[in-house]
Amino acid sequence: MKGLHHLLPPLAADYTGICSALYDLDAMIVLHNPSGCMRTVTDIDEPRWASRRASFFSSGLNESNVIFGDDDAFFGNIVRTFQGTDKKFIALVSTPVPAVIGMDMNDIATRLESSLNVPVFAFNTTGFENYSCGITEAYLALAKHYLSSPQEKKPTSVNILGATPLDTGSDRHLNMLVSLLEQAGLTVNAVWTMGSRLEDISRSSCAELNIVISHTALPLAQFMEEHFGIPYIQSLPVGMQPSARFFALIDKMMQGTVSVEQWAEKETDGPELPQGSRALIIGEPVMSYGIRQCLINDFGVDDVQVASLLPLNMIPETDRGSNDFTIEKEEDLENLIGHNHFDIIVGDPYFKNFIGTKKQTAFISLPHPALSGNEYYQSDYAYFGEPGYRYFYKSLFQ
């Protein structure tokens, strides 16, 4: 988003996306920035920090380093810190100051790699872009380095692509998805990148299907399709009927190996919303379209508009509504909500501020940590499968 912000912070930055994608992979992550700037990641954007600290460090960049280009000191400091650890790789992550003065991480990465004999990834992030660019870049770097053609495929196995706390929320939500997949007779091979170890990630090319659950992972899915012939779907099983369709689609792609009966038996039992009901969903695109399907199919909402925080170009045009758009400025959202009536608004709790005194609008809170950081990370909500349906039902009717 551009323009003046007052009610919303900017989305988490590209360098946060890199850190989030690599957090669980036993890496040493070095942010090349002034030390205080690391706090955006540790204090705000990385909810796992409170319970499980990864090896995140700041280079402690200062004015003198900038003026004199002290790359040798930076190199030496990383070597000293890395020695004695058992980390599997190093990630060098750039931030606004190195970006603006044109520092290039690649050269230092090459030197470190030959000196320490471990993989070293250089990410020339800038801090001017949002987290999605960072996650995508980290995924592709991992895939290019660690994936190779498998000797054999693991039958009925799937990878989940695009899971990070920034979009997915806490591992409670991810576990729900894994559980749904397992109940359908599937094996989760690897989760990019929450909970899976680097070894699991390295074996991702054995899977039969990739399930893309956030837009950040679409380039990775395309890469894996091109190089290893793994097909993918981009969908989220939000609520009841969309979950049935989700598993039917997987079943079709995996040629009848998925158990879909359980979904055929389940029907929504609640009242539908009155005819002409109108809803607005604000959030990450893949999640928003999953919710859209739920509101239309499980609750009978007639008109569902998506206001995406990120570009919609990764969503097929056939899935998009005619009024869907990407929010460019905070005032776009103010105008949209101020000048239109919505019976339901779904989104991060921060968006509640835009509703003001419109009491006739029901707000369904769905925290988006890439926006609101760790503030609502542990709050009680659900979106996958039946628990998701129950949460939406409760928010609308109770």
Choose which of 84, 317, 322, 398 interacts with other proteins (CB under 8 A).
Answer: 84
Element (H, E) at 70: none
Choose which of 124, 126, 326, 395 interacts with other proteins (CB under 8 A).
Answer: 126
CA dist., res. 344 & res. 385, Å (int): 20
**Contact status: 2 vs other proteins (CB under 8 A):** yes
- What is the per-residue binding string for other proteins in 3-32, x denoting contact by CB under 8 A? xxxx--xxxxxxxx-------------x--
Residue 327 CB, shortest distance to other proteins, in Å, is: 13
Choose which of 69, 72, 85, 106 interacts with other proteins (CB under 8 A).
Answer: 85
Residues contacting 135, CB < 8 A, separation 6+: 17, 18, 20, 21, 162, 164, 166, 214, 216, 217
| DSSP secondary structure of 34-60 | -GGGGHIIIIII-GGGGTS--EEEE--
Choose which of 26, 129, 302, 332 interacts with other proteins (CB under 8 A).
Answer: 129
Closest CA relative to residue 171, chosen from 340, 390, 384: 384
Residue 75 CB, shortest distance to other proteins, in Å, is: 11
CB 35 within 8 A of CB 60: yes
Relative orientation angle of helices 385-397 and 171-183, to the nearest 10 degrees: 120
Can you tell me whether residue 228 is helix, strand or coil? helix
Choose which of 19, 93, 122, 130 interacts with other proteins (CB under 8 A).
Answer: 130
Relative orientation angle of helices 285-299 and 241-253, to the nearest 10 degrees: 120
Residue 336 CB, shortest distance to other proteins, in Å, is: 19
**Contact status: 246 vs other proteins (CB under 8 A):** no
Handedness of CA 198, 144, 54, 179 (dihedral sign): negative
Choose which of 21, 27, 91, 99 interacts with other proteins (CB under 8 A).
Answer: 99
**Contact status: 152 vs other proteins (CB under 8 A):** no
**Contact status: 198 vs other proteins (CB under 8 A):** no
Residue 118 CB, shortest distance to other proteins, in Å, is: 16
Choose which of 51, 68, 80, 398 interacts with other proteins (CB under 8 A).
Answer: 80
Closest CA relative to residue 382, chosen from 214, 184, 176, 193: 176
Go through the chain and tell me how many residues it has: 398
| DSSP secondary structure of 99-123 | HHTT--HHHHHHHHHHHH-S-EEEE
Which among 125-133, 190-198, 236-244, 294-302 is the span making contact with other proteins, rule CB under 8 A?
125-133
The label of the residue with tokens 């402690």 reads 60
Choose which of 18, 22, 23, 34 interacts with other proteins (CB under 8 A).
Answer: 34
Choose which of 77, 124, 222, 395 interacts with other proteins (CB under 8 A).
Answer: 77
Residue 379 CB, shortest distance to other proteins, in Å, is: 16
- Which stretches of the chain bind other proteins, using CB under 8 A? 1-6, 9-16, 30, 34-40, 42-45, 49-50, 53, 55-64, 66, 76-78, 80-81, 84-85, 95-97, 99-101, 126-130, 373, 375
